[in-house]
Amino acid sequence: AKVRTSPIPAVVIRNDHAASRAFTYKVSVPYEQWMERAILLLRSQECACHGKKGDIYEDKIADGIRLPKMQVSRLDADIDADFLSLVNFIQPAPDKDTLHCITGSIPYFKRKEGQKDGKQLGELSEEKQNFEIYCRLRDVLHDVRQEMGTELAKISVTGYGVPVGNLKKNETNALIRVLKLKEYLRENRLAGRALLDVSWISEDWDSITSLVRKSDMLLKEATLDLINNIEIVKGRERILMSFADGKPYKYLMEKIFPEVMRVDYRIEYTRKPLGATESLQLLRSGKQRALHLNEFFAVAGSYPVGSTEYNDILDLAARLFPESPEANINAAAVALSKKELSKARGYLEPFATLPIAYNNMGILCLLEGNRDKAEVYLTMAAAAGVEQAIKALEKLKIKD
């Protein structure tokens, strides 16, 4: 017989002939297959001290240990291969020419991460600012126009200023700024035939208020009270300049105003759904992130179900669209067909309450040996009209 020993915690007690003592302790040993029909011994050892020999005693507690067999569904041990073919794949609704949008911001006084050379936008002349804004927008549009099936719809550009100086003068300057920037962008054909909308907010008090509220500036609440309760035309800026010896206003000038000054843009475009051939071209060129979910499924559908290409594409779609129920349920179907249960549960569990997931959840529970739970999911899926679930329930009845 094979003999193995394991380190077991010991209890040490001081010997006392005058007293009788009892003690208990509990030891748990993880079960392994070799322990079947093993002998369980309790070994005790006396302490060898004061020149006396310490004896070792062994008491047999159990012989030929037999553990009760766990009851596992017969489907867990020998699942019928036909059940693996009853997973279902979800096809999302067809794409339409949907409107997409890209938004961004060009700061006046905040360098790009890692940028060391070159002036910031706010340090340039107005003409050079227009050129810089144009270049930034052109770069974004380049990526949009590179996508197949896109058509530019609208470009919106909004500048934001701060309350430095006379309000009327700021508003006049903002109007002139809009006209010059719009003319520059048109001359350089930025928008093509798309709508170009340029506007300017001369004093962006909304952003100022928001940034102050998030800041750790001194007298923050008092500053916010002044901003909220004193109208612009009644000297809001002048009162802020004189408040608390001008310290809050100095903070606004140094910390808040540079953050407020920016040019925001919004680019709207439509994109026609691509066919399987065009989608495959994008996928092979490494531009898989440009594909929509339906286009991934179109590419997958061009391969035989269960093929390596089919499985890999659906698995990639789930990773690129982690919030999509359809992508995750389909990736789970692939995992189930290969009996990768842990992977399948990871895909399915976040969407287990959705009717479109019931069938695959039922198959997963069958593979895990939980027939009762499987029948619940399959029954709900059958009620929703899923053919695979109806067939799975019929097979379960036959096995009974």
11 or 225, higher pLDDT: 225
Q: How many domains does the chain have?
A: 2
Residue 5 CB neighbours (<10 A): 7
pLDDT at 371: 87
Q: Tokens 């399948």 sit at which residue?
A: 344
Q: Which of 252, 270, 288 is the last residue of a domain?
A: 270
For 59-63, 66-70, 316-320, 352-356, which range has the lowest pLDDT when averaged over its residues?
66-70
Verify that 246 and 148 share a domain, yes or no: yes
Q: What CATH number has the domain bearing residue 242?
A: 3.30.1330.60
Residue 58 lies in a domain: no
170 or 114, higher pLDDT: 170
Verify that 243 and 299 share a domain, yes or no: no
Of 104, 97, 130, residue with least CA distance to 266: 104
Verify that 227 and 306 share a domain, yes or no: no
CA distance 110 to 44: 74
Verify that 310 and 202 share a domain, yes or no: no
Q: What CATH number has the domain bearing residue 377?
A: 1.25.40.10
pLDDT at 207: 95
Strands 195-201 and 150-160: parallel
Residue 71 has pLDDT above 50, yes or no: no
Burial zone of 346 (CB within 10 Å; 0-12 exposed, 13-18 middle, 19+ buried): middle
Verify that 251 and 281 share a domain, yes or no: no
**Helix (H, G, I), strand (E, B), or coil: what is residue 314?**
helix
305 or 70, higher pLDDT: 305
* Per-residue pLDDT reduced to its tens digit, 211-221: 999 999 989 99
Residue 159 has pLDDT above 80, yes or no: yes
Of 161, 143, 154, residue with least CA distance to 185: 154
Confidence of residue 400 (pLDDT cuts 50, 70, 90): low
68 or 125, higher pLDDT: 125
Residue 229 has pLDDT above 80, yes or no: yes
Residue 73 lies in a domain: no
Verify that 226 and 308 share a domain, yes or no: no
Beta-bridged to residue 42, according to DSSP, are 59
Residue 76 has pLDDT above 70, yes or no: no
Cα–Cα distance list, 375 to 332, 345, 354 (Å): 19, 17, 16
Verify that 158 and 306 share a domain, yes or no: no
What average pLDDT does this structure show over 114-128? 76
Q: What is the pTM of this model?
A: 0.53
Cα–Cα distance list, 195 to 129, 236, 378 (Å): 22, 37, 52
CA distance 199 to 222: 32
Residue 312 has pLDDT above 60, yes or no: yes
Do 144 and 267 touch, CB atoms closer than 8 A? yes
Residue ranges in 236-386 assigned as alpha helix (H) = 236-242, 247-251, 257-260, 276-284, 293-301, 308-320, 325-337, 341-348, 358-367, 371-383
Verify that 264 and 308 share a domain, yes or no: no
CA distance 273 to 148: 9
* Per-residue pLDDT reduced to its tens digit, 8-50: 555 556 666 655 566 666 677 776 666 766 777 777 776 666 6
Written as one letter, the residue type at 150 is T
- Collect all residues with Cβ–Cβ distance below 8 Å to 189 and sequence separation of at least 6: none
Confidence of residue 188 (pLDDT cuts 50, 70, 90): very high
Verify that 198 and 345 share a domain, yes or no: no
Beta-bridged to residue 39, according to DSSP, are 63
Residue 174 belongs to domain spanning: 98-270
Verify that 154 and 183 share a domain, yes or no: yes
Mean pLDDT (the chain, rounded):
82
CA distance 148 to 279: 9
Residue 77 has pLDDT above 50, yes or no: no
Q: Which of 270, 302, 325 is the last residue of a domain?
A: 270
Verify that 285 and 208 share a domain, yes or no: no
Verify that 85 and 102 share a domain, yes or no: no
Of 321, 369, 361, residue with least CA distance to 345: 361
Tokens of 400: 């009974």
pLDDT at 100: 76
Confidence of residue 150 (pLDDT cuts 50, 70, 90): confident
pLDDT at 75: 46
What average pLDDT does this structure show over 108-123? 69
pLDDT at 25: 62
